[in-house]
Amino acid sequence: MTSFDVQQVREQFPILQQQINGHPLVYLDSAATAHKPECVLQAMLDFYRTDNANVHRSAHTLAGRATQKFEQARQRVADFLHAQFCDEIIWTRGTTEAINLVAQSWGRQTLQAGDEVLVSAMEHHANLVTWQQIAKQTGAQLRIIPLLINGELDLHAYQAMLSSNTKMVALVHVSNVLGTVNPVAEVVRLAKQVGALTLIDGAQAVAHAPVDVQALGCDFYAFSGHKVYGPTGIGVLYGRQEILAQLPPWQFGGEMIKQVSYTDSEFNLPPLRFEAGTPAIAEALGLSAALDFVSQQQSAGAETYQQQLLQHLIAGLQQIKSVSIVGQPAHRQGVVSIVLAQAHHHDVCQLLDAQGIAVRGGHHCAMPLLNSLGLSGTLRVSLGVYNNKTEIDIFLQALHQALELLND
């Protein structure tokens, strides 16, 4: 293992210092939601204790402090994603709302019969269903980019699907089922050749490796705070400035307006145009603290450490005869899904939980992908920066024992 100090990291997560069913908590479900370090909890608590006020709307001191910190958090996100401009960052409730914002604003304005939207066969429902429904509403066609047998995107098929009819390519950066890291920069480059826009679902990517939206060249990038050690209820949509300036709002109310009469309204410039209502202020500050935390861990070698831990997990799973790993992508991050011979994943999850081990069983909001693989569900193990080799070994031993018990 790398010299990355995982014990020092673990000490920053209060929730890990507990027992579940009489056993130390082994949390292997970070793809569903990651835990929050003390700095995130403290940032939110400090706001409510000292600066609680609405932003942008009052002249008093508390409102001024709240607004300043809120906009500093927006700048922190811009820096984290290497966005060119701060006003390319839009606050949302999460990845799902960010994708819906693009579909409802750009999609309704742009898509029409004969247009095509391309998504991959590995998409989370947040990306798949959103574009499926907007295609139905606009008369556009949704097309599915197939996968190779190892769980990677079929780039040759993708390239053949692209045409002047392609208006949007919406793709997951890292699969929440397979762990596949998609070649996003190449996907974007090919889309640009036919004039298509690109949206990247980064929910599973930002916690594991640095993201540079300018280097990727994408038009939109979305992620959720709670997947990257931040709060729930806050997310981000990055959109290129020149595109956002052309899009209409998709929700209406306070904050997003410039002038209002009884008969008409003039809307604010982005990003405020897309942020109707009181935002999640404390959550934005918590997310900013989370991004500071993640950047510090990445500088300390977290990416290499997590890859080593992932390989240790995979090697251990390969030693259990009744376990099959779903997908064998050349580049994987953070997630391993397995199928269990003669045992149901939900039964195994319950047996593991009895020993304090948290994993996920089910379709992981990717039903079409699992159906295409002939599966009703999998047992998913997902890693965070706080996991260690001891926890992986505890899980592997408990999994082996659970399968022996169920197969007796």
The 10s digit of each residue's pLDDT in 41-67 is: 999 999 999 999 999 977 899 999 999
Question: What local confidence, expressed as pLDDT, does residue 2 receive?
Answer: 62
Predicted TM-score (pTM) above 0.85: yes
Question: What local confidence, expressed as pLDDT, does residue 343 receive?
Answer: 87
Question: What local confidence, expressed as pLDDT, does residue 332 receive?
Answer: 98
Rounded to a whole number, what is the largest CA-CA distance in the chain? 74
Q: Which of 39, 218, 349, 365 is catalytic?
A: 365
Q: Mean of the pLDDT values across residues 244-250?
A: 96
C-alpha 218/C-alpha 169 separation (Å) is 10
User: Within 13 Å, how many C-alpha atoms sit on residue 228's CB side?
Assistant: 38
pLDDT of 1 over the 90 cut: no
pLDDT of 40 over the 70 cut: yes
Q: What is the DSSP string of 40-51?
A: HHHHHHHIIIII
- Is 218 catalytic? The answer is no
| Exposure string over 126-161, b if 16+ CB within 10 A, otherwise e | bbbbbbbebbeebebebbbbebeeebbbbeeebeeb
DSSP 271: T
The 10s digit of each residue's pLDDT in 253-308 is: 988 999 999 999 999 999 999 999 999 999 999 999 999 999 999 999 999 999 99
pLDDT of 199 over the 60 cut: yes
The structural domains of the chain, ordered by start, are: 6-30+301-407 (3.90.1150.10), 41-296 (3.40.640.10)
Contact between 204 and 29 under an 8 Å Cβ cutoff? The reply is no
Question: What local confidence, expressed as pLDDT, does residue 323 receive?
Answer: 96
The sheet with strand 335-340 has its strands ordered as: 323-325, 335-340, 378-382, 360-362
Q: Give the percent of the chain with pLDDT over 70.
A: 100
Residues 59/60/61/66 CA torsion (nearest 10 deg):
-70
Q: Give the percent of the chain with pLDDT over 90.
A: 96
Question: What local confidence, expressed as pLDDT, does residue 407 receive?
Answer: 80
Candidates 158, 173, 172; CA nearest to 116 is 158
Contact between 140 and 108 under an 8 Å Cβ cutoff? The reply is no
